[in-house]
Amino acid sequence: MRLWHKFAIGSVAGIVLAGAALFALDAADKAFPPPLDKADLVSAEVLDADGQLLRAFATSEGRWRLKTTVADVDPQFLRMLVAYEDQRFYEHGGIDAWALGRAATQFIRNGRIVSGASTLSMQVARLIEPRAGRSLSAKLLQLARAVQIERRLSKEQILDLYLTHAPYGGNLEGVRAASLAYFGKEPRRLTVAEAALLVALPQLPERRRPDRNLKAAQEARKRVLERAAVAEAVGDGEAERAEGVAIPPRRMQLPALAAHVGEAALRKEPAVLKHQTTLKKQVQQGLESVARAAAMKLGPKLSLAMVMADAQTGAIVGEVGSADYFDASRSGWIDMTRVNRSPGSTLKPFIYGLAFEQGLVSQETIIEDRPADFFGYRPRNFDMSYQGDVTVREALQLSLNVPAVKLLDAVGPSRLMVRFRRAEVRPVLPPDETPGLAIGLGGVGITLKDLVQLYTALANRGQPARLGDGITGTPGKLDGEPLLEPVAVWNVADILSGVIPPAGAPQRGIAYKTGTSYGYRDAWSVGYDGRYVLGVWVGRPDNSAVPGLTGYGTAAPILFEGFAKSGISTTPLPRPPAGAVRIAQSELPISQRRFALNASGLLVASGREPAPQIVYPPEGAHIDLGAGAGDLSPLMLKLQGGRAPFRWLANGKPLPDLSRRRTQQWLPDGGGYSKLTVIDSAGRAASVGVFID
């Protein structure tokens, strides 16, 4: 009975002492937690729209330390890592007692360290809290930290820390940084040879760096592949085959794309570690390669910028802010996609679009290209010559200045600026000036990004898109009225798609326009297909003149090369909308055969006040409005001459309202023949008969 009593007292005392010890350990654990917060110091990353790495920024310590998780690496690499470094990783609590005993026995027998007993948890402890020496106290602290880490983190989280912080020589840390530097790829898919090298390097990273000691790297990889547990993890014969694979002898540069976008992202949200952009890596790589090649041909001090956008979504898929971000001679740090410059002739398509929309001209209308005086403003062509009588189609394709100014005078500069505001673009006028005729030839300031935003309307049936900033902006189609009506947009695209490509450039089915600013300071080219718009600017950031610089000769070849190297397949231009047709000159109404204005600003065929005349649709036209599908679209009606207001009648029935505009929409009741009539305020009338299909 006494013996039992002593045993009971001893047991209670043991429990109390054990509890006290555990309490003391728990208190110490809480008082001196592992510095896991240091593990959060990783490189900031800029990603493309699909999550691919565009560029990374070194940490404040100058390290390339890319955050890596188990999901980011090849599962076979993880199996090889555990097999080589810590076979009982998933069973122990931070310390492998069996491995410790084995290592101690080997040390006693051999008088030296034969094998280590460091677990992955202990290695993580050393990585996040490095010690200069390898003393016994440092080792004991490492053991304690391993236990603390195991108490706080899951096995997967511990692996995440190892994969992020493992040293690979120089300033490379983590498996992702090493895989990108030595293999040029993310570690999601690794060969056995690649995985074995990444397992081997962290033990002695400086001595085994392939770029400095290739032989040591080969021997270290061989030891990994010869480990029985590793051979079992990779399968029969795979380890032997991997030994014969060459090791990359040099270190590659980590991805460094989209320098200006990356810097802007970091400035915008400096605390964020992963910055998602709307860019596409393949497109960005292609445009940057074109920019580098073009810069070599352009010569010193010239820079260039490129913006490629999806006209349907508004997403910027590629952006190059300068020829070379690090080239001081070209002021490469300046993002020229955001700088206001004179756009030259690149705004002319919108002038012609307004003229088409208002029924002033058709593609085959004759317009004069001769010296003209607009109240003291005397525009001249780029080559100082004049073509005489040309068609509107030829005038736009040849980018003749006098015809463009004549049409702008007819449609009104202020109206053009109002249309630009529909696309949320506000070109900058000279101080204290109102919109004048000079804006048609580049007399405003506009950024390359805004110019591309305007052209998204031409690629998207008149509806512009908001591009955002490529980082956290909100791209998308803009609500509200279109910049131009679909038929006018089609006419512009039909003309621009017929412009001859620059010498040596392939025909890619794109519509494009070039521009050269006054004094040869800026060269532009903007092109589009049915989905994407690409804009190119070339010039000097200091706005100096560059003799011989032209949009067609300098910027257009870069545009075509950019489309080719972007990796994006050409999307056909939109099909003609209902009512869009190219009318031969002989079939045009008399008032549209030649463009001329009287003192009242009305289109005339002679010196008399013109009677109203329906210029669209033409007499006898067959117009596809979807009658066969049972879902009719409205028909745009256009007239010239006459005196406002106007009353329209369809099949003898008046449309609801009088209109002072020379355009009107009419929704037919069904298909078949219809007669359209317009009556002006003087009682004069004009009629046409059309067939609705």
Tell me which residues are annotated as active site.
Answer: 85, 345
Write the CB contacts of 608 (distance below 8 Å, at least 6 apart in sequence): none
Locate 239 and state its tokens: 């380890």
Nearest to 409 by CA among 429, 365, 379: 379
Tokens 């494009």, located at residue: 512
**Three-point CA angle 373, 377, 536, nearest 5°:** 120
Nearest to 538 by CA among 679, 386, 339: 339
Q: How does 23-39 read in b/e, with b if 16+ C-beta sit within 10 Å?
A: eeeeeeeeeeebebeeb
Locate 232 and state its tokens: 């079992």
**Three-point CA angle 585, 586, 589, nearest 5°:** 80
Backbone angles phi, psi at 555, to 5 degrees: -85, -35
Locate 692 and state its tokens: 């609705």
Answer yes or no: are the C-beta atoms of 73 and 187 closer than 8 Å: yes
- The DSSP result for 49-92, as a single string, is TTS-EEEEE--TTS-EE----GGGS-HHHHHHHHHHH-TTTTTS
Nearest to 333 by CA among 400, 396, 270, 260: 260
- The DSSP result for 19-50, as a single string, is HHHHHHHHHHHHHS---GGGGG---EEEE-TT
Locate 252 and state its tokens: 């590659």
Nearest to 521 by CA among 497, 496, 546: 546
Work out the number of other CB atoms within 10 angstroms of the CB of residue 49: 17
Alpha-helical segments (H) within 398-518: 401-411, 413-422, 448-459, 486-496
- Cα–Cα distance measured from residue 254 to residue 202, given in angstroms and rounded to the nearest whole number: 19
- Cα–Cα distance measured from residue 445 to residue 437, given in angstroms and rounded to the nearest whole number: 14
Radius of gyration of the chain, Cα coordinates, nearest whole angstrom: 36
Peptide bond into 645 cis (omega under 30): yes
Answer yes or no: are the C-beta atoms of 54 and 258 closer than 8 Å: yes
List the helix and strand counts (H, then E) for the chain.
Answer: 20, 22
- Please, what is the end-to-end C-alpha distance for the chain in angstroms? 113
Write the CB contacts of 22 (distance below 8 Å, at least 6 apart in sequence): none
Peptide bond into 413 cis (omega under 30): no
For residue 325, give the DSSP letter. Answer: T
- Cα–Cα distance measured from residue 576 to residue 355, given in angstroms and rounded to the nearest whole number: 18
The H or E element spanning position 539 is strand 532-539
